Structure 1
Amino acid sequence: TTLGQARPVVGSHLRVGEGLLPTSAPPPQLLHVAIVCAGHNSSRDLNTLVKSVLFYRKNPLHFHLVTDAVARNILEMLFHTWMVPAVGVSFYDLEELKPQVSWIPNKHYSGLYGLMKLVLPGALPPDLARVIVLDTDVTFASDIAELWALFAHFSDKQVIGLVENQSDWYLGNLWRNHRPWPALGRGFNTGVILLRLGRLRQAGWGQMWTLTATRELLTLPATSLADQDIFNAVIKEHPGLVQPLPCVWNVQLSDHTLAERCYSEASDLKVIHWNSPKKLRVKNKHVEYFRNLYLTFLEYDGNLLRRELFGCPSPPPPGTEQLQRALAQLDEEDACFEFRQQQLTVHRVHISFLPHEPLPPRPHDVTLVAQLSMDRLQMLEALCRHWPGPMSLALYLTDAEAQQFLRFVEASAVLSARQDVAYHVVYREGPLYPVNQLRNVALAQALTPYVFLSDIDFLPAYSLYDYLRWGGGTRRTPGKYVVARETSGPHLVLCPLLLRRYHEWPRGHAPTDYARWREAQTPYRVQWAADYEPYVVVPRDCPRYDPRFVGFGWNKVAHIVELDAQEYELLVLPEAFTIHLPHAPSLDISRFRSSPAYRDCLQALKDEFHQDLSRHYGDAALKYLTALQQPPGPA
């Protein structure tokens, strides 16, 4: 079937006993999938692969992910926030497994990671009997349970299921003096593998492939196709180990393949394998079909895959039950229902969406932290020119917008040259902008001792980064005014906000005392006041933003209140400033200005915030209650 024909009805539920499912139907079998994944780009590929698997699947799944530290950090957060029912994930450390394959010279672009599938039988749990092994560059076009069902065709001695290689590589006739590793005929491709782990272990798989590789490397300088060369050399010597799989389960797309002989209609295929660095530019008469299928899952809304499985009772993902109880307690007739629902929404988060190489944190170093949506992308280049230091940015995007953002960065000489900017995609869901949740994502990923909490529509002075790191422009100890060791409590450094609209909202910025700042030669302290919303530099472990504030209004003000309640001292630096860039009003600002109900809901959130503040800080929070009597201010 085509993708459109196979699309499930998201959100529908079938109950046993209503004539739709037999009451005696056995629960679907748990299927196990192993994938080796390292680095930022491979993590993005895995995200697309998983979406294609989840789209068609009808069974509970458990993913066994062999990762480096970068990929594990990304994928742990992604799966934790995805909250897909009937999906489990286990991680295995690549560093611990490296010594088993690091002795093998390998010319394949995947490097050492391309050899890791060889050690899976020993790395995976000893009680795991069967597993499907996948490359990250495959896309499913059918239910993975159909692939699992092919285990039933194995004989007692067959332990490895593979699709024949769809190129002439192992025939050795591609160019003069071409010497491939030994293989059975055309050999087999290892982008999709069925492994009977128990019997592989009994057969002594580890010793088997090690001896074969050692022998072949006496006459061959290195592997060219990583693990695939060694799998094929073993199968050449022990052909009874392999169960050939139908070729539609690994249609290999590269310029030198004969994939078109494998199927009569493009819709017959089951798995597309983009086994070429050229990806979507390979030559194939059906390449448009394949490209469209791949792009569909690349941009598919992963939130739609959170559906429960039909007739498959399974424990909910961690945190789901508590969340469902909280959602069930909401009153849909409440005028502020969408505010309360939005603050409970768990957004999928893909941290470190693009490769970045942060420098080792230096004493007193500062990361700029901000958040943005698609309509603010044009501000990134100017920000990168003004702030040469590290940045942690949270972007609120759909799956499709995330791909547009990727292309935007790749096409920008300014953005693509920066290796110290970390972009974290928070996938869009719900009607209101979750501004404080976005800030918290970016703040949590900052690596330096201090953070400059800014917004995307503010440009710091060109000198601000060095000024903050090196003690406010003096010859004193680097970072002195950030650290403020001469004071007893935690410290805030305020960056005055210079903008044309200052007189429209003086309450938000008047305590900074701009007249004094213009003449100041040394830092000076100021006092908190209601609705004060300065832009600040604080230690990385500062309080997080209150996620109840979504949309427009009081989200940053509440954070300053929390900082003041924890007795942070407010210090204004001379010569430090940031400039507001004019832009069209957001949808949430327009709603705030035009809707009395919107403003009433914001006031209700302020009331609840002050109540929680009083419960947490007691009498110390009494001074903040005066803010309840004031009209709600900006963010």
Structure 2
Amino acid sequence: MRWLTLRKVILLLCFSFFVIYFIFCTRKINSNNIKDYTNTRNTDSIANSNHLTERIVLTFVVCESRFTESLNVIKSVLLFTKTPVHFIIFTDDNLIDSFNNTLSKWKYLTTNQLDFELQLITFPEAHKEEWMNLFSKCAAQRLFIPTLLPHVDTMIYVDIDTLFLGPVDELWNVSKHFNSSQILAMAHEDENPNVSWYSRFAKHPFYGKYGLNSGVMLMNLTRMRDFGWVEYVTPIMLKWKLYIPWGDQDIINIILHYHERAVYVLSCRYNYRSDQCMYGDACSDATERGVFVLHGSRKIFNNDKQPAFKAMYRAINEYEIGTDPTKVLVNMEKYLTEASPSNCGTMKEAFLKVPVETIQSLYAKPNR
């Protein structure tokens, strides 16, 4: 009897040991699996991040009927740049298929120099309608980009009425000159107090003496997130919404009025608007070195108020990706010559200087 009891105890101990060993092994296997999964996810994340930092990242916001105009931003970049460019496009449901179809073809034609991702327009639910219609439709999206693109460190934002006339690399490399306090780069609205809208009419705080134009921005999104950028925008909008006719641009100016050291001021040649020439030459840097980014604000690419701007836009609009880029120069020269006389038309050499130099450099025929 005592022997049977001892035997039962031994069997029970053996069984318990087996159960404990089984649980230990199982937990070890599961732990290893979790560790491997985590490593895989981290590797993918790092690879994706590196993928974006190896190329220029450029973004814009477009909705409703401005699809063709936005395509010309991309055309201008591809015309004058050899570096791979990753376009991040914020748009609405109606344009997703159109962008996918067109840009997939262009990606093939440019041998993958072009890459793109499409993001739906996204505003906070609180005050969503106010944000959507603050200025032009969905333009305020740019205020929220730092949190909407957590996978991006640095990027160039442009309005869809802008055209690059030289390699994007030049503007992209400006970020290397940021000091430790600077989080973004922008150009002044104007540099003449007699012309600048902000110094004459603004009823809200703005940057410096002349204010800033938000049509072209080089943004260090990592620093902007650390700065707490998005946390500022809603309280400012609610406080000043009756006094900000330029919407999101005014909000940016209000923020930077109180944080002037956060701005690297760009030359006016990187955001050249009709204000820089319609009353005479107001951007000597563009006159000497050439216009680098042409900004057709107030819809002047599509009306007859500034024939020289419309001529440049027409030349790029007619260019087809994959065809001879030198034809663009021929058309720019032709359309500028045919344009009605204007103060901006006298800046013809400044308009052509950078594209001529760039095309000749990028597409020079080899000596035989």
Using structure 1 for the length normalisation, give the TM-score.
0.39
Match of 2:116 among 85, 89, 95: 89
Match of 1:271 among 278, 284, 293: 293
Alignment of 1:113-192 (within 5 A): 113-124=138-149, 126-166=150-190, 167-173=195-201, 179=203, 182-192=206-216
Task: Give 3-state SS (helix, strand or coil) of 1:133's partner.
Answer: strand
Q: In 2, Cα distance between the equivalents of 1:291 and 1:267?
A: 21
Please say if 1:206 is aligned against 2:230: yes
Q: In 1, Cα distance between the equivalents of 2:272 and 2:288?
A: 10
Q: In 2, Cα distance between the equivalents of 1:103 and 1:237?
A: 27
Q: Would the alpha carbon gap of residues 191 and 258 (structure 1) be closer, same or farther in structure 2, given more than 3 Å must change?
A: farther
Contact 2:134 2:248 (8 Å CA) reproduced? no
- What is the CA-CA distance between 1:295 and the residue it aligns to? 1.4
Q: Would the alpha carbon gap of residues 157 and 139 (structure 1) be closer, same or farther in structure 2, given more than 3 Å must change?
A: same
Match of 1:102 among 120, 128, 138: 128
Task: Give 3-state SS (helix, strand or coil) of 1:33's partner.
Answer: strand
Structure 2 residue ranges without an equivalent (≥5): 1-52, 326-330, 332-368
Q: Would the alpha carbon gap of residues 257 and 193 (structure 1) be closer, same or farther in structure 2, given more than 3 Å must change?
A: farther
- What is the CA-CA distance between 1:110 and the residue it aligns to? 1.1
Q: Would the alpha carbon gap of residues 292 and 86 (structure 1) be closer, same or farther in structure 2, given more than 3 Å must change?
A: same
Alignment of 1:439-454 (within 5 A): none
Q: Deviations over 1:316-367 (max 9, x none)?
A: xxxxxxxxxxxxxxxxxxxxxxxxxxxxxxxxxxxxxxxxxxxxxxxxxxxx
Looking at secondary structure, tell me which structure has more helix per residue: 2
1:32 is matched with: 57
- What is the CA-CA distance between 1:244 and the residue it aligns to? 0.3
1:563 is matched with: none
Q: In 2, Cα distance between the equivalents of 1:170 and 1:138?
A: 22
Please say if 1:251 is aligned against 2:272: yes
Q: In 1, Cα distance between the equivalents of 2:214 and 2:278?
A: 14
Give the ranges of 4+ consecutive aligned residues of structure 1 lying more than 4 Å apart after TM superposition. 105-109, 254-259, 280-284
- What is the CA-CA distance between 1:128 and the residue it aligns to? 1.2
Q: In 2, Cα distance between the equivalents of 1:196 and 1:305?
A: 35
Using structure 2 for the length normalisation, give the TM-score.
0.65
Residue identity over aligned pairs, in percent, reads 22
Task: Give 3-state SS (helix, strand or coil) of 1:118's partner.
Answer: helix
Alignment of 1:297-446 (within 5 A): 297-304=316-323
Please say if 1:261 is aligned against 2:282: yes
Q: Would the alpha carbon gap of residues 100 and 115 (structure 1) be closer, same or farther in structure 2, given more than 3 Å must change?
A: farther
Contact 2:55 2:84 (8 Å CA) reproduced? yes
Amino acid at match of 1:241: A
Q: Deviations over 1:358-384 (max 9, x none)?
A: xxxxxxxxxxxxxxxxxxxxxxxxxxx
Q: In 1, Cα distance between the equivalents of 2:288 and 2:97?
A: 37
1:583 is matched with: none
Aligned residue pairs total 266
Contact 2:186 2:266 (8 Å CA) reproduced? yes
Task: Give 3-state SS (helix, strand or coil) of 2:119's partner.
Answer: strand
Q: In 1, Cα distance between the equivalents of 2:127 and 2:169?
A: 31
Contact 1:106 1:224 (8 Å CA) reproduced? no
Match of 2:314 among 279, 295, 299: 295
Task: Give 3-state SS (helix, strand or coil) of 2:323's partner.
Answer: helix
Contact 1:101 1:115 (8 Å CA) reproduced? no
Q: Deviations over 1:414-460 (max 9, x none)?
A: xxxxxxxxxxxxxxxxxxxxxxxxxxxxxxxxxxxxxxxxxxxxxxx
2:94 is matched with: 70
Amino acid at match of 1:227: D
Amino acid at match of 1:115: A
Q: Would the alpha carbon gap of residues 256 and 265 (structure 1) be closer, same or farther in structure 2, given more than 3 Å must change?
A: closer
2:9 is matched with: none
Q: Would the alpha carbon gap of residues 294 and 278 (structure 1) be closer, same or farther in structure 2, given more than 3 Å must change?
A: closer
1:630 is matched with: none
Contact 1:51 1:305 (8 Å CA) reproduced? no
Amino acid at match of 1:294: Y
Match of 1:237 among 258, 262, 268: 258
Higher relative CO (Cα under 8 Å, sequence separation at least 6) belongs to 2
